[in-house]
Chains A and B, each alone.
Chain A
Amino acid sequence: MGFSITIQQLSVFLENREGRLDEVLKVLAKNDVNIVALSLADTSEYGMLRMIVSEPEKGKAALKEEGITSMLTEVVALRVPHAAGSLSKAMHQIVEEKVNVEYMYAFANGSDAAAVLKSDDPEKVVEVLKKSGFDVYGADEAYRANQ
């Protein structure tokens, strides 16, 4: 154990049709689930909405209630100091250890930034980062970022 500091990301598959994103956001708003960060990936046929929210489990349940399928994905939120080269250095360590990153997005968090990383082996990512002096956000910190 020791390195199990991963967080839950709420992911929603969005068909390309009018108002679908609005529907999803409305459900979260109605249920008081705050969105801390989000990334919306688009393909020609569908979109993938990935969010860090205040209460991931509650968000998932609320969406399910409305017939919207979502899933919780384990991701790592890396603390990146606001200094040129910080992210580069972190990325370098991950590459060195041959861990594959599927996708990444970032959000500002107080005086630092958070980079959300999805990898096949999140535990390993945390281990690598901590070993090279980087900090990762715990769930409580990430879900309540900027508050």
Chain B
Amino acid sequence: MAKIALENWKEAIRDPKIECMSRDEMSALQSERLVKQVKNVYENVTFYRKKMDDLGVEPGDIKGIEDIEKLPFTTKEDLRDNYPFGLLAVPKEKIARVQGTSGTTGKLTLASYTQRDVDVWGECVARGLTMAGLTSLDRIHICYGYGLFTGGMGLDLGAQALGAMAIPMSSGNTKRQLMCMEDFGATAFACTPSYALYLAEAAQEAGVVERLQIKASINGAEPWTDEMRKKIESILGINSFDIYGLCEITGPGVAMDCIHHKGLHVYEDYFYPEILSPSDHSACRDGESGELVFTTLAKEGMPLIRYRTKDLTSMERSTCECGRTLPRIQKFTGRTDDMKVIRGVNVFPTQVETALLSMGGGVAPHYMLIVDRENNLDVLTVMVEVDEKYFSDEIRKLDQLKIKVGAVLKQALGVSVRVKLVEPKTIQRSEGKAKRVIDNREL
């Protein structure tokens, strides 16, 4: 296929009433939903009632969206403390689905959805797919992982809401991916950007690009650059779009970029975004960088109030050239913590430490993570010190240790790692906050 040039692009908008709503109307809608949601969590979630009581805030104090700053924050640690079902606002039997992601200490971060939450999720992804020029006539090849991870299921629900054909490939086995893409006549595909580029190059090498009917790709769940997007677009002759989401809020479909690529449009009728200054949590002006914070305005299962994503970005509220009035968040410039996204999986250095300690010997809990991008795929190398007691002069035993460490880390992180054993006492010791991660990906 050939990439559609901007001047020939025909913008389609799934829900123009919402997506092109005036600021005033949107504020009114958000206010109405927030007031209802705050009353809901106060009455049904002990955690929020206590937090609000501690702050001396009553549901009656929240009269509109502008009062949101009176409300308490929610953090990933709060989710962990209330794992797995402590933050539900409905009885458990109303939960239709759970999805999860890795947490900071080996426990999952679990999100619970009612059937209505699932429908809203699908609707939001469908808005994004429409933004990418897709319709009910399209066939969407989904090579995000299916399972607890929201990627595969999110795109699947979106395809369903759109009325398109979903091809649930899940990740891995590139040869088979390309074969199915060609045989089933997929017109779009969805996966992490790094895998998209890997697939594109594999298609080029196999000489099958001309036989594919792909016209668009939806890529997200890890940071990528405009250059990378252009590379995917030029190899496959397609238009690529960035999708953003996090499982705590709903999964992919919280925001997506349009053909103008001037930031990702946030579906603020459901997910109210704030950008807050990292120093004093005051609201940032448009264009000013701060921490992205979300409030789920209509979520039933596990509503979150002012959830701190720890992602750093800025927001723009001016109307986009595509016609949408939805605010746009820019590509993330960093995190307020040391989490890394590796092949779409959240990895916290502390998880490595916990896993190494759980081995009960062999290696010391001193480590260094090195993230590289080789052949467009993220590679995580973990340097681990061999414990002096377990040190052996036999390579076979050291290799066994290496394999064991690799298996333990894969289990803990959900992503395969390369283990590099290093001499005892050679990794920098913690003096306050030791640097535990080196990220060589130039993003």
Question: Which of B185-193, B235-243, B417-425 interfaces with chain A?
Answer: B417-425
Q: Confirm or deny: A67 has a beta carbon within 8 angstroms of a beta carbon on chain B.
A: yes
Let me know if A9 and B393 touch, CB within 8 A.
yes
How many angstroms between the C-alpha atoms of A119 and B426 in the bound complex? 30
User: What per-residue 1/0 map shows which CB atoms of A44-80 lie under 8 Å from chain B?
Assistant: 0110101000000000000000011101010000000
Q: In the complex, which residue of chain A has the Cβ closest to the Cβ of B422? A: A15
Q: Which residues of B does A touch, CB under 8 Å? A: 386, 388, 391-396, 398-399, 420-426
Let me know if B423 and A71 touch, CB within 8 A.
no
Let me know if B423 and A13 touch, CB within 8 A.
yes
Q: Which residues of A does B touch, CB under 8 Å? A: 9, 11, 13-15, 41, 43, 45-46, 48, 50, 67-69, 71, 73, 102-103, 118
How many angstroms between the C-alpha atoms of A11 and B423 in the bound complex? 13
Which residues of B have CB within 8 Å of A41? Answer: 395
Let me know if B393 and A11 touch, CB within 8 A.
yes
Which residues of B have CB within 8 Å of A73? Answer: 393
How many angstroms between the C-alpha atoms of A89 and B391 in the bound complex? 33
Partner of B424, one of A9, A46, A50, A69: A69
Q: In the complex, which residue of chain B has the Cβ closest to the Cβ of A68? A: B423
Let me know if A48 and B421 touch, CB within 8 A.
no
Which residues of B have CB within 8 Å of A43? Answer: 395, 399
How many angstroms between the C-alpha atoms of A54 and B132 in the bound complex? 74
Let me know if A69 and B396 touch, CB within 8 A.
no
Let me know if B393 and A48 touch, CB within 8 A.
yes
Let me know if B391 and A13 touch, CB within 8 A.
yes
How many angstroms between the C-alpha atoms of A13 and B394 in the bound complex? 10
Let me know if B391 and A69 touch, CB within 8 A.
yes
Q: In the complex, which residue of chain A has the Cβ closest to the Cβ of B421? A: A46
- List 9 additional contacts besides A13-B393, A50-B393, A67-B425; criterion CB under 8 Å: A15-B426, A41-B395, A43-B395, A43-B399, A45-B421, A69-B423, A69-B425, A71-B391, A102-B396
Which residues of B have CB within 8 Å of A9? Answer: 393
Partner of B394, one of A14, A46, A103: A103
Let me know if B386 and A13 touch, CB within 8 A.
yes
Let me know if B393 and A118 touch, CB within 8 A.
yes
Let me know if A48 and B424 touch, CB within 8 A.
no
Let me know if B395 and A48 touch, CB within 8 A.
yes
**Which of A9, A15, A50 lies at the interface centre, i.e. has the most chain B CB atoms within 10 A of its CB?**
A15
Let me know if B394 and A45 touch, CB within 8 A.
no
Query: Chain B's nearest CB lies how many Å from the CB of A30?
Result: 20
